[in-house]
Structure 1
Amino acid sequence: MKAVLQRVTHSSVTIEHEVVGEIGQGVMVLLGVTDGDTERECDYLAEKAINLRIFEDDEGKMNRSLLDISGEMLIVSQFTLCADCKKGRRPSFISAARPEKAIPLYERFIQRINSHGIKTATGRFGADMKVSIKNDGPVTIILDTDDIMTAAE
C-alpha cells in the first residue's frame, strides 16, 4: 500500500459540486492499494498513519501524533499512486489492485482508523473527486509498505 499524508488545517472532497467529506485540523490521506497488498499491510499502514509524530509540540518540534492532538482524517482512494513510470511517457497502472480487492482494503483502513476514535471523512471509491487541501507547514509524508515494513522486520 502507498499513502501520501498531508498535515492540514482543512481538507475536503467534492463530487459533482457536493462536498461529501470534510475535516478540520488533521491528516489528508491519499491511499493506493497495490495488487500484492493484504490485511497485514493495511493494518500496519493505518497504525503508522495515526501514530506518526508530524504535529508540533509546545516547543515547535514535530513530536505529536494525530491521536495526541485529537485530529481528524480525510481518506481518499488514489489508484494513481501505484503508477509505474519507468518506461515511456504514459504511466502503467498494472500494479494497482482491481476494485474487488482494493475496496475491502480501503474500507478496512477506514475501519482501523475509526477504531481509535478518530473522526474520519472519505471520498467515494472510483468517483471523479475534487480534493481541496490546505496543507499545514507544508508537511507531506509518503509511506509505502514495501519500504517501511521491510525496514521494521
Structure 2
Amino acid sequence: MRALLQRVLEAKVVVNGEITGEIQQGILVFLGLAKDDTFEKGKKLIDKILKYRFFDDEQGKMGWNVDQAGGGLLLVSQFTLMAHTQKGLRPDFGPAMPPQEAEALYEKLVTYTKTQFEQVQTGVFAADMKVHLVNDGPVTFNLEVA
C-alpha cells in the first residue's frame, strides 16, 4: 500500500464536469493498493497520514498534523502508484490489486477515515478524474506501510 501525500492550499476532483471532492488547505492523498494489501494495513496508513506532521507550526517548522493545521483531506484512489517501472518503457500494473477488490477496500478505508477525521472528501473510484491542486511548498511525501 502506497500513499503519495501533497500539502495543498486547495485541491479538487472533477468527474464529468462535476466536482466530487474539494478541500482548501490540507492533504491531497493519492492511494495505491497492491494485491496483498489488507484493511489492517490501510488503517495503519490512514492513521499515519492523519498524524504526519508536515504543516508549519508557530515556529515555522513542520510540527503540525492536518488536524492541528485546520486542514482537510482529499482521498483519491490511484492504481498507477503500484506500477513497476524499473524495466522497459511501459509501466507494469501487475502488482496492483484487481479493481473489484480494490474498490471494496478503498470504500472501507474511506469509511474508516471519516470515523477518524471530519474533513474528508474523495474522488470517484475508477473514474476519469481531473485533479486540480495548488501544491504548498511544494511539499510531497511518499508513505508506505508494511
Question: TM-score if structure 2 supplies the norm length?
Answer: 0.95
Structure 1 residue 74 displacement after superposition? 0.6
- The 3-state SS of whatever aligns with 2:67 is helix
Distance 1:106 1:95 in 2: 16
Aligned to 1:120: 120
1:93 partner amino acid:
F
Aligned to 2:101: 101
* 1:53-68 paired onto structure 2 within 5 Å: 53-68=53-68
Aligned to 1:129: 129
Aligned to 1:74: 74
Structure 1 residue 50 displacement after superposition? 0.4
Distance 2:118 2:66 in 1: 8
Residues 100-141 of structure 1: CA distance to partner in whole angstroms, max 9, x if unpaired? Answer: 211122112212221123311111100111101111111101
State the Cα RMSD in Å.
1.0
Moved over 2 A (4+): none
Aligned to 1:16: 16
> Is the contact made by 1:67 and 1:118 (CA closer than 8 Å) also made in structure 2?
no
Residues 21-74 of structure 1: CA distance to partner in whole angstroms, max 9, x if unpaired? Answer: 111111000000000101111010000000000111111000000121231111
Distance 2:20 2:85 in 1: 31
Q: Does 1:5 align with 2:39?
A: no
Aligned to 1:89: 89
2:114 partner amino acid:
N
Structure 1, unpaired ranges of 5+: none
Distance 2:118 2:72 in 1: 6
- The 3-state SS of whatever aligns with 1:138 is strand
Question: TM-score if structure 1 supplies the norm length?
Answer: 0.91
Comparing 68-77 and 112-121, the one that deviates more = 112-121
Percent identity of paired positions between Structure 1 and Structure 2: 42
2:84 partner amino acid:
D
Aligned to 1:28: 28
- The 3-state SS of whatever aligns with 1:93 is coil
Structure 1 residue 99 displacement after superposition? 1.6
Structure 1 residue 97 displacement after superposition? 0.3
Q: How many residues align?
A: 146
